[in-house]
Structure 1
Amino acid sequence: MEMEWVHDYLRLMGMSEKQASTPYLKHLLNAHRHVFPFENIGKLVFHDQACVTEDIERFLWRHRCFHTGGTCITLNLQFSKLLEALGFQVFFLKPGGDHMALLVLAPETGEPLYVDVGTPVPLLTPLPLNKHKQTHVPLFAGEKVILMAGDKEGEYTYIRTIADRIVDRKWAFSIDRCYQLPDFQDTIRKSYQPDAQYMQQLRCEKWCARKRRMLSLKNKELTIRTHNGGKIKRRMKSRKDLSEVLADTFSLPKLPADKAMDKLEESGHLLWDQERHISSF
């Protein structure tokens, strides 16, 4: 394999190249979640739709310079390129009509596996798509993901529960429908509209592999969830607090958080008690 970017990608994740296998896929998924955050800070700062589908060398360069990751399409698109280069068969899924996830065929058996590195939910293992029963995957703190087979073969519903209560909307999808990147262009365009979800808040989610905990920042609120079900919440009182959390707790000191906060403050979506300060960039 001659592509230098593959070695760069694996090096960033602390991984070595191996033969495609389901255990290797799980390790790649875990490493990707540990290194590349689910975040919209880059989206707010660079505000360029081309960043979502940029070439993989540029994606890796941006992470090295700014510690960026992205939201669902950016992360799953780039991860799919890596998996294909490593010998996996990968297809795009469109759960809920506006999300991108991946269908990866298990190299050993050809079994379809649901893979997603572009979600705030800590999905750290490939999920088998069983047409005869539900797939239950425990996550953290009573949180589960259920993949429920539909009446028609190839149809599934993605359901997320906390303490056996359904949260979020259900995502229906079919593994028989093949999507291409152009099928997501309208979703990308809408995601940059002023009223889009990730243009109105500051968001960063990251899996901390060594401490086995999930870090979640939404505007001023930090939530730390541990593997054994513990949960700690902390509210930021200033821009300095928020920047320090991203640098120290998330280990993402290069994220251009000040510029993202400027944009959210200007649009009235992030307000502090103290006087607003415009940063330079």
Structure 2
Amino acid sequence: MTQQQLPQWAKDYLHYIQVPVREPSQSYLKEMITAHLNRIPFENISTLLHYKKYHEEKKLVPDAKKFVKQLFQQDMSGTCYMLNSSLHQLLKQLGFHSRYTFLGGGHVALLVRLPGEEEELYVDVGNGAPFFEPIRIETDPGNVSEYGGIEVRLRPGDEFGTYKYYRYVDGTLLTDMDWSFDTKKIYQFDDFQPAIQKYFRPNGVFTSVLRCQIWQLSQKRSLSLVNNVLSIRYSNRKIEKHILNDRFEVRDVIENEFKLPKLPVEEAIEILEGMGINIFQEPTEKAEA
């Protein structure tokens, strides 16, 4: 595979995450997903901006070309549906075998196979979780993806090919993210449309709150903004929380801490206000997940 063989959107995608074209391998896959998590945020600003359009069209279509355009023009990315579907399309262009898997009836991730191998690796850049390398769920049942007190463990289920997702924050299991998935099932993106319809419902998890999260491994930390609460979690498990008092402080954090100067966060705040949601009314109790 050479750069000349790739479509322009794929070249631009790799340029954005600052990763060159290489032959498919486990180390290359790790390089890509680590760069992805450090460069592209998990955010619902794009969800709020697309809220009206979705309810007019009644369908979400994965479009990697549009996704990359949004990255460059607005620093926008999305949540699991857009993040993992776009990476899925990129991986296929680069010679990986990639397919979807579906966790808990609402979260989309990927199963990726390397050339010449039979085992599929779990890959997930749309979860705000420390999946900095592909997970060999078949041959490494004791796997732990960990950073700064956040741990995710993928464990075999009761039936062959099934697994459970467990997420711990500072030793506490998050029961609302206790997901199961079946690797034997084959999915097309349209299979997720009923779940996406619930995702875009009024007052949903991502339509009633402002959220942006990114990893900054070079600074040994991760950033999580939930409404007006900024949480900074360091690799040594130290946590700082800052209450932001107005949209100017939110803009300052997005621009200078997250390094996402084009992200239209003010517009997202206005959309929430139009729904009767004031993100500055009181601190969000669940300010980090």
- TM-score, normalized by length of structure 2? 0.88
1:202 aligns with 2:206: no
Equivalent in the alignment of 2:61? 53
What is the rounded CA distance, in whole Å, between the counterparts of 2:84 and 2:280 in structure 1?
34
Identity of aligned residues (%): 34
Cα contact 2:131–2:145 (8 A) shared by 1: no
SS in 2 for 1:93: strand
AA matched with 1:237: N
Match of 1:265 among 249, 273, 280: 273
Cα contact 1:201–1:270 (8 A) shared by 2: no
Equivalent in the alignment of 1:237? 245
Cα contact 2:104–2:179 (8 A) shared by 1: yes
Equivalent in the alignment of 1:160? 167
Cα contact 2:130–2:145 (8 A) shared by 1: no
AA matched with 1:150: G
Cα contact 1:13–1:35 (8 A) shared by 2: yes
1:25 aligns with 2:29: yes
Residue 169 of structure 1 and its aligned partner are, at CA, apart by 3.0
What is the rounded CA distance, in whole Å, between the counterparts of 2:60 and 2:14 in structure 1?
20
What is the rounded CA distance, in whole Å, between the counterparts of 1:52 and 1:245 in structure 2?
30
Q: How many residues align?
A: 272
Cα contact 2:6–2:93 (8 A) shared by 1: no
SS in 2 for 1:217: strand
Equivalent in the alignment of 2:107? 99
Equivalent in the alignment of 1:10? 14
Equivalent in the alignment of 2:284? none
Within 5 A, what are the aligned runs for 1:58-207?
58-107=66-115, 109-130=117-138, 134-167=141-174, 168-207=176-215
**Compared with structure 1, are the counterparts of its residues 272 and 154 closer, same or farther at alpha carbon in structure 2 (3 Å cutoff)?**
closer
Q: 1:70-120, CA deviations, whole angstroms, 9 ceiling, x for partnerless residues? A: 011100000000011111111100010111000111346332211110112
Two-structure CA RMSD over aligned residues (Å): 1.8
SS in 1 for 2:107: coil
What is the rounded CA distance, in whole Å, between the counterparts of 1:180 and 1:212 in structure 2?
37
**Compared with structure 1, are the counterparts of its residues 42 and 163 closer, same or farther at alpha carbon in structure 2 (3 Å cutoff)?**
closer
Equivalent in the alignment of 2:44? 40
Equivalent in the alignment of 2:287? none
Q: Which moved more, 1:134-143 or 1:144-153?
A: 134-143
AA matched with 1:179: Y
Residue 53 of structure 1 and its aligned partner are, at CA, apart by 2.6
What is the rounded CA distance, in whole Å, between the counterparts of 2:240 and 2:189 in structure 1?
38
Gap regions ≥5 residues in structure 1:
274-281
Residue 229 of structure 1 and its aligned partner are, at CA, apart by 1.9
**Compared with structure 1, are the counterparts of its residues 98 and 230 closer, same or farther at alpha carbon in structure 2 (3 Å cutoff)?**
same
Residue 209 of structure 1 and its aligned partner are, at CA, apart by 3.4
**Compared with structure 1, are the counterparts of its residues 135 and 106 closer, same or farther at alpha carbon in structure 2 (3 Å cutoff)?**
farther
What is the rounded CA distance, in whole Å, between the counterparts of 2:227 and 2:130 in structure 1?
19
Q: Which moved more, 1:156-165 or 1:60-69?
A: 156-165
Cα contact 1:22–1:108 (8 A) shared by 2: no
Gap regions ≥5 residues in structure 2:
282-289
**Compared with structure 1, are the counterparts of its residues 111 and 119 closer, same or farther at alpha carbon in structure 2 (3 Å cutoff)?**
same
What is the rounded CA distance, in whole Å, between the counterparts of 2:40 and 2:271 in structure 1?
23
**Compared with structure 1, are the counterparts of its residues 203 and 271 closer, same or farther at alpha carbon in structure 2 (3 Å cutoff)?**
closer
SS in 1 for 2:215: strand
Cα contact 1:136–1:144 (8 A) shared by 2: no
AA matched with 2:43: E
AA matched with 1:96: G
